[in-house]
Structure 1
Amino acid sequence: MVPQEKMVRILADVHTAEAIIETSVIYPDTSLMVFNREQEEILKKHGVSKEDFRTSYRYYLDNLREMDKLYEIIVDTLSVRESKAQAAGSSEQQ
């Protein structure tokens, strides 16, 4: 199973990729194709196979308390990333 810390990083990356794709790709079929490619790259970057990711995700789906804990950390991680991006954007505008 993928360790929780790594799962947080993977899912945070996946949600970031989803948000970028949603705002930049017009057609649903294209979005799905781009998302699938991005997800493969994210898993490769973290050294996790699709099967290990799916098995771990299924574990969290079957253990909703654990999933809740996982997503609390993911939301915090995404908030920090957003704050850093906003700070970087405002410093570029100055």
Structure 2
Amino acid sequence: MRKLTYLVAILIIVSCTQKNEIPKGILPPEKMANILSQIYEAEHKATNIGLKYDSQKVVLRHYELMILEQNSTTDSIYKESFTYYLEHPEKLETVYDIVIDSMSLREQVMDANREKANNKAK
């Protein structure tokens, strides 16, 4: 009975201390968040330039490919990483926490710049 208790204890410890690393070939959370933030900004731009939906899709795809190139990654790595994060919700939450913080900070900077420009105009 004692051996069984030790075995269960060891299994619990091993299962709790398993590496929580991201597999090779998957974008790290910070890089994934950066790419997603840029894609969301591009999506916003594409929908606000007054083009029809089909044309917006073409423009957005162009933006996406540029963003991936600027971040030294490929479409397939991005898609594989996105799928990985979808399958690991706790890691996806971390990515989106970074995205939200990043977007909020950018919005605050833009608001501050607008306010500064308005004050100069007065």
TM-score (norm 2): 0.73
- Listed one character per residue, the Cα deviations across residues 34-93 of structure 1 (whole Å, up to 9, x for unaligned) are 000000000011111111111100101111221122111101110001111111122122
User: What SS is found at the alignment partner of 1:58?
Assistant: helix
- 1:62 corresponds to: 87
Pick the structure with greater CA Rg. Answer: 2
CA RMSD of aligned residues (A): 1.1
- 1:34 corresponds to: 59
Q: Percent identity?
A: 24
Match of 2:107 among 76, 82, 90: 82
Residue ranges of structure 1 left out of the alignment (5+ in a row): none
Measured after TM superposition, the shift of residue 26 of structure 1 is 3.0
Structure 1: how far apart are the matches of 2:103 and 2:44?
A: 11
User: What SS is found at the alignment partner of 2:43?
Assistant: helix
Residue ranges of structure 2 left out of the alignment (5+ in a row): 1-25
- Structure with the bigger RCO (C-alpha within 8 Å, sep 6+) is 1
Structure 1: how far apart are the matches of 2:83 and 2:93?
A: 14
The code of the aligned residue for 1:89 comes to R
How many residues are paired up?
Answer: 94
User: What SS is found at the alignment partner of 1:88?
Assistant: helix
Match of 2:39 among 10, 14, 20: 14
Higher helix share: 1
- 2:5 corresponds to: none
User: What SS is found at the alignment partner of 1:26?
Assistant: coil
